[in-house]
């Protein structure tokens, strides 16, 4: 009941004319970010973040969260109408969304996508409402060994559950850890890895890294692919949306299953992209007629969109309650919290309840606002993609460089963003995951501080990480996740040997 009372207080904070206008502005900017190739939610949030430094933290987080929701919806629009995923998590939507649009069912496909996305997001926010207080109270028992165990479990889960090659994930994470150590050591006060360059004394900003990796890197890849925008025209009418809404309950099983998948992948660091692919695969596998998938099957749109938005919403839970971001965008938002002087974690719920519950309440309102706005503005934003890429591309580059410069008003950051852009391009070409790098940059130094503080308490003994049931359990789960690829490979080998003997 306390959570419900807190939520009502959150609605008092969020339901003001100022915050509603910020939601609308954030959603519109987010849809634009999602529609334009080469940007995406993490980059959009990082570009907008410097503009929030002078804002009240509640207003700032509402604006950024609304931009996030809008970007997810914008990615779905381009996936269905142009077969171009504006977001990585929208790739699975292209499999059936674009075939539906080519069959003259663009409005139906868009309506299914937006309504199911709204349902998935609502499920994620309800979970946050019910569990956030409990998770925060539980986390109050944590000291530095428990925090390190949680960080270790988070990094290990990227290796065990991330879906990418474990080796490539470790390499990506290692680069992120190295970048996080540049600058002044917060424990000893020593300067590390600056190579006598004064511009590196303050460290490498994760904002610059995100702008380069997600913005310029994606743009370079888009230029190489010679992207051409050839889409399907669509005009969304209220009557068509309502007719589609009446069909949605037929797919209740897909909605429920995809919501659960999305929530799980949001709380763990699987993220929206993995959730959408997993949900699509589960829908196809459990279908009575799997051959329909890929040819314009509505469930092929509903499943990934529901999971995508459920994961996006629920990723906020570990970020707020534990200080552990569940996605790349949540990692950027968490960086924003630290810049605003807020410390993500259990104490945030007691120190700034207006911030936490104002954000949670705005997530309910923001997703409703996003569904309404995106349905009303589909033709407008779709027309943007009819502008030649030769015009859109340079505009995106200018936006990225302006964002890099305004982060700290340093010319050096522009060159740094360009370097990260080349790194992002190489990562994409070589199929290395970028999210572990961003995560390591954001919380790598916090994990290091927790580890070193634990070593100081225990006088250098690693036994402190097994000193009680809580920290021991967390470390054991982390080790299982870390070695899960090896365990899985061993089980497959044993199964293969067993089958050979049977034959």
Percentage, residues of the chain above pLDDT 70: 87
- Between these two residues, 151 and 426, which has the higher pLDDT value? 426
Closest CA to 332 of 12, 52, 100: 52
Q: Give the pLDDT score at 29.
A: 86
Q: Give the pLDDT score at 86.
A: 61
Q: Give the pLDDT score at 239.
A: 74
Per residue in 110-121, pLDDT tens?
Answer: 888 888 988 988
Tokens describing residue 209: 């890294």
Closest CA to 336 of 32, 27, 35, 44: 44
Indicate if the pLDDT at residue 38 is higher than 60.
Answer: no
Return the SS3 of 343. Answer: coil
Closest CA to 298 of 289, 370, 308, 235: 289
d(CA 370, CA 24): 8
Query: Length of the chain in residues, anyone?
Result: 503
The 3-state secondary structure of 150-207 reads: HHHHHHHHHHHHCCCCHHHHHHHHHHHHHHHCCEECCCCCCEECCCCCHHHCCCCCHH
Overall average pLDDT of the 286-302 stretch:
84
Q: Give the pLDDT score at 497.
A: 65
Nearest 5°: phi and psi at 196? 65, 20
Q: Give the pLDDT score at 363.
A: 86
Tokens describing residue 402: 């302006």
Highest average pLDDT, of 127-131, 189-193, 231-235, 405-409, comes from: 127-131
- DSSP string covering 371-420, please? HHHHHHHHHHHHHHTTS-HHHHHHHHHHHHHHHHHHHHT-HHHHHHHHHH
Reading phi first (left if > 0) and then psi (alpha if -120 to 50, else beta), residue 104 is in left
Percentage, residues of the chain above pLDDT 90: 3
Overall average pLDDT of the 259-270 stretch:
78
Q: Are 450 and 154 in contact (CB under 8 A)?
A: no
Indicate if the pLDDT at residue 269 is higher than 70.
Answer: no
Q: Are 309 and 366 in contact (CB under 8 A)?
A: no
Predicted confidence band of residue 228 (pLDDT cuts 50, 70, 90):
low
Angle at 366 between CA 327 and CA 306, to 5 degrees: 55
Q: Cα dihedral angle (91, 95, 96, 101), rounded to 10 degrees?
A: 80
d(CA 409, CA 428): 29
Alpha carbon separation from 465 to 112, 128, 166, 220, 458 (Å, rounded):
48, 29, 24, 44, 10
Predicted confidence band of residue 182 (pLDDT cuts 50, 70, 90):
confident
Tokens describing residue 98: 């674009």
Indicate if the pLDDT at residue 480 is higher than 80.
Answer: yes
- Between these two residues, 189 and 181, which has the higher pLDDT value? 181
Residues 315, 317, 321, 322, CA torsion sign: negative
Q: Give the pLDDT score at 265.
A: 76
Q: Give the pLDDT score at 163.
A: 63
d(CA 44, CA 328): 12
Residues 224, 93, 154, 408, CA torsion sign: positive
Indicate if the pLDDT at residue 232 is higher than 60.
Answer: no
Return the SS3 of 346. Answer: helix
Tokens describing residue 64: 């950024």
Average confidence score pLDDT of the chain: 80
Overall average pLDDT of the 211-234 stretch:
67
Indicate if the pLDDT at residue 454 is higher than 60.
Answer: yes
Q: Give the pLDDT score at 482.
A: 86
- Between these two residues, 211 and 356, which has the higher pLDDT value? 356
Tokens describing residue 435: 């999210």
Per residue in 380-400, pLDDT tens?
Answer: 666 665 667 677 778 778 877
Per residue in 165-180, pLDDT tens?
Answer: 888 888 998 998 888 8
d(CA 486, CA 160): 9
């Amino acid at each position: 009941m306390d959570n419900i009372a807190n939520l009502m207080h959150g609605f008092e904070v969020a339901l003001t004319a100022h915050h509603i206008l910020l939601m609308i502005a954030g959603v519109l900017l987010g849809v634009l970010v999602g529609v334009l190739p080469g940007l995406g939610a993490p980059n959009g949030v990082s570009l907008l973040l410097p503009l929030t430094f002078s804002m009240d933290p509640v207003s700032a987080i509402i604006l950024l969260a609304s931009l996030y929701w809008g970007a997810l919806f914008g990615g779905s629009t381009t996936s269905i109408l142009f077969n171009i995923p504006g977001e990585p998590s929208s790739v699975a939507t292209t499999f059936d969304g674009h075939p539906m649009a080519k069959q003259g069912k663009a409005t139906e496909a868009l309506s299914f996508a937006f309504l199911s996305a709204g349902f998935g997001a609502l499920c994620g926010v309800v979970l946050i409402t019910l569990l956030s207080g409990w998770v925060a109270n539980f986390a109050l028992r944590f000291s530095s060994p428990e925090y390190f165990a949680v960080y270790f479990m988070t990094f290990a889960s990227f290796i065990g559950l991330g879906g990418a090659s474990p080796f490539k994930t470790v390499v990506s994470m290692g680069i992120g850890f190295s970048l996080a150590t540049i600058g002044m050591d917060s424990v000893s006060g020593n300067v590390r890895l600056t190579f006598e360059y004064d511009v590196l004394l303050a460290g490498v900003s994760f904002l610059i890294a995100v702008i380069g990796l997600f913005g310029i890197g994606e743009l370079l890849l888009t230029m190489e692919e010679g992207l051409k925008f050839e889409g399907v025209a669509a005009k969304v009418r209220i009557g068509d949306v309502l007719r589609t809404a009446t069909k949605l309950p037929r797919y209740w099983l897909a909605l429920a299953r995809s919501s659960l998948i999305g929530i799980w992948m949001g709380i763990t660091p699987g993220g929206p992209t993995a959730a959408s692919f997993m949900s699509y695969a589960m829908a196809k596998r459990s279908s009575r007629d799997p051959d329909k998938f890929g040819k314009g099957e509505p469930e092929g749109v509903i499943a990934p969109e529901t999971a995508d938005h459920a994961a996006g919403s629920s990723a906020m839970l570990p970020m707020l309650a534990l200080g552990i971001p569940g996605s790349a965008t949540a990692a950027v938002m968490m960086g924003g919290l630290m810049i605003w002087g807020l410390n993500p974690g259990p104490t945030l719920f007691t120190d700034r309840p207006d911030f936490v519950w104002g954000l949670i309440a705005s997530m309910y309102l923001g997703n409703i606002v996003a569904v309404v706005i995106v349905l009303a503005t589909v033709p407008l934003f779709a027309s943007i993609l009819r502008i030649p890429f030769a015009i859109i591309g340079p505009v995106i580059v200018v936006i990225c460089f302006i964002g890099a410069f305004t982060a700290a008003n340093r010319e050096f950051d522009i060159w740094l963003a360009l370097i990260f852009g080349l790194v992002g391009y190489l990562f994409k070409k070589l199929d290395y995951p970028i999210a572990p790098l961003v995560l390591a940059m954001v919380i790598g130094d916090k994990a290091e501080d927790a580890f070193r503080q634990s070593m100081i308490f225990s006088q250098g003994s690693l036994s402190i990480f097994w000193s009680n049931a809580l920290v021991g359990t967390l470390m054991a789960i982390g080790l299982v996740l870390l070695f899960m690829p090896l365990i899985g490979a061993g089980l497959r080998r044993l199964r293969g040997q067993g089958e050979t003997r049977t034959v």
